[in-house]
Structure 1
């Protein structure tokens, strides 16, 4: 018999015993769907947790100049040349930006005399990557505005409401008083972003919430009269490699500036360890779900052994009319593989549906990894091959005379 005939014969046999075929596939379906669903929910949960942490500084490090050190000199302060040197020599950095913030007093220039204490951050395009916010009106600061240091500003939506009530603040001017610098500067509002701690406002803690504003770094440099910084913020591409990258950054700064007064700290302590724990937990969940695949494989072997017992006479007749042992072996192996592949395909679809249903109720967006899907298909095939070998060998080794005598 050639392969096509064996395949057709296997399909006919499986269709002719629908219930037995379904029961055989059931273990594979449950196993694969469990792996797909648990993987998708676990990965989605990990992304949600780390995503929320990222908004608060997870995976972000601060490099500081120890200004209290005895050997400190102003020439050891950091500048844009240091940033460019780090970008050029150190791989694996997603963003690096100075961190400058000042306490200010905001005054509404176009309305009633409303003053509000606030924090102003000097930002760059990289700062927007490090400390992401959602803009709900207007736009972020543009690249050309960063380069030219334009007097533009973006403010949080709670501050906008306090300063302008129900009016749109876009295009309005506000005055910023830098008290420590004894300077006042007018800015035009170009965007409004959601306050990072807006959830506190929903429970009545708005009075305790700080006001946040952002202006271009070049504008802050003009106001302060210096282009030196004491703090840089660095975000590695891979949070798990963060400490290794930061060590290289510190070594680069020490080599460039001939000083060892630089150190770093993670904005969320032990954040990398938390991500590692989440990944390990996902692997453990997949391992537990994978046990059901092994159980499903045992089910395939048991049902196929039952099939051999039920079809002893059929096997004897086929051998009597010329079928060879290898033909019988290949047919039973083909049946096992077909059952496993069909069960695996159904398991992938069911697992995807289950993960989306569970994700809907627990507010998690499941992430189905193509690698997990591919591995599931491979495992399905191997299950059919490995657990189908023993029953197939048992069938192929039957003596045709003894098989024909079987009642």
Structure 2
């Protein structure tokens, strides 16, 4: 009954001065709305980014040799064969190197990006599609015999020959100081259609793929393997396979404990990206939360004004038997209710604002139970913290002095 009466009195006081109460809550409303909108949109954007990158490499491992200047410790084709044969979870393995060059035919000459690796490159390359339109991908025979073959995409076929079915045709490739002919054995889907509107066709380089052994023979400085991509069958296998790969290479090349080989997986990089995004989002939310401090000061200010205006009322109540505790709780509850109402309005406004912003950015806002609970807890904490001083001041008024107050 005591709590119910104080609650009613607090509401009466708040609604008796609607405009003043609203202006008092404004800082809290803005602060809460800003924090909710930033967290929801930020978490939604982070989820969109991580899911996009996760689709690109959720089961891949990037293997490198730290000291490739030592031939005994560099990655070799024999290492790749041993890794694939010894570790059942390894699905594909290939160098994933790229070099810029110029591809030319009698019809045209264009800049080209050449990817080179083992036949498994078909499934590991992010530069080219794995979907064949004509012919085949280069195979193990091409790799072992260093056949001068190449796979191009439909965009490159159209640019260099004016048609897509160009299997069996020959193009001339120029890389650094080397110039040699390559026979086209396959054509994969092109990616220009997805880039249209951002670039002109002539601005986009052609994409091609060829055996690493072939390009190493024609351009000797490219014969080494600086990095290798490994794809495992399941995401859960990434960590154990990474450890197996490093351990096997160290034993095979007598480099145990020398930290020569490094197997980094995409999940590690993804965790680092998530940590940076979370830090940035929380920092911006904390800056927006400064408005809550301003709002709390506003609550304290208006409560001090309220104590001054109601000094005679406080004196009358104390003369009629109200205790110091009763007066303290009355004004403290009023401050808490002001903050809670502001918090609820801010929460509603923040959800509305985040949906508008997220819709414009084409992402899905993410609301967590923790962020909603934080709003309510923080609103209550603001009311308690900034309401204590005015409430204590009201509770400590001398009833005689209060009744004499003009």
TM-score range, shorter chain: 0.5 to 0.7
The Cα of 1:372 is off from its aligned counterpart by: 3.0
How far apart, in 1, do the equivalents of 2:251 and 2:365 lie?
43
Q: What are the within-5 Å matches in structure 2 for residues 224-303 of structure 1? A: 231-233=228-230, 248=243, 251-254=246-249, 257=252, 259-260=254-255, 262-263=261-262, 278-303=277-302
Q: What are the within-5 Å matches in structure 2 for residues 77-116 of structure 1? A: 77=80, 78-80=82-84, 83-84=87-88, 97-99=92-94
Aligned residues: 340
After superposition, the CA RMSD in angstroms is 5.5
Match of 1:2 in 2: 2
Match of 1:145 in 2: none
Match of 1:307 in 2: 306
Would you say the 8 A contact 1:157–1:195 is kept in 2? no
Would you say the 8 A contact 1:308–1:395 is kept in 2? yes
The structure that has the greater radius of gyration is 2
Match of 2:201 in 1: 205
Calculate the TM-score normalised by the size of structure 2.
0.61
Q: What are the within-5 Å matches in structure 2 for residues 8-407 of structure 1? A: 8-44=8-44, 62-64=62-64, 69-70=71-72, 76-77=79-80, 78-80=82-84, 83-84=87-88, 97-99=92-94, 198-199=195-196, 202-206=198-202, 208-211=204-207, 231-233=228-230, 248=243, 251-254=246-249, 257=252, 259-260=254-255, 262-263=261-262, 278-359=277-358, 363=361, 365=363, 367-370=365-368, 371-407=370-406
Distance change (3 Å), C-alpha of 1:392 and 1:69: same
The Cα of 1:364 is off from its aligned counterpart by: 5.8
The Cα of 1:391 is off from its aligned counterpart by: 0.8
Distance change (3 Å), C-alpha of 1:317 and 1:37: same
Q: Deviations over 1:243-291 (max 9, x none)?
A: x999856643445646446445799xx9987765554433332222121
How far apart, in 2, do the equivalents of 1:332 and 1:98 lie?
71
Would you say the 8 A contact 2:96–2:121 is kept in 1? no
The Cα of 1:99 is off from its aligned counterpart by: 3.5
Calculate the TM-score normalised by the size of structure 1.
0.61
Match of 1:219 in 2: none
Distance change (3 Å), C-alpha of 1:288 and 1:124: same
Would you say the 8 A contact 1:60–1:266 is kept in 2? yes
Distance change (3 Å), C-alpha of 1:265 and 1:368: closer
Would you say the 8 A contact 2:124–2:229 is kept in 1? no
Distance change (3 Å), C-alpha of 1:211 and 1:309: same
How far apart, in 1, do the equivalents of 2:155 and 2:168 lie?
17
Distance change (3 Å), C-alpha of 1:258 and 1:119: closer
Q: Deviations over 1:37-62 (max 9, x none)?
A: 33344445555666777788799752
Gaps (5+ residues) in structure 2?
99-109, 133-151, 172-179, 210-226
Distance change (3 Å), C-alpha of 1:234 and 1:294: farther
Q: Deviations over 1:21-45 (max 9, x none)?
A: 2122111001111222333444455
How far apart, in 2, do the equivalents of 1:265 and 1:34 lie?
38
Gaps (5+ residues) in structure 1?
88-95, 104-115, 142-154, 214-229
How far apart, in 1, do the equivalents of 2:169 and 2:69 lie?
26
Distance change (3 Å), C-alpha of 1:120 and 1:299: same
How far apart, in 2, do the equivalents of 1:209 and 1:84 lie?
37
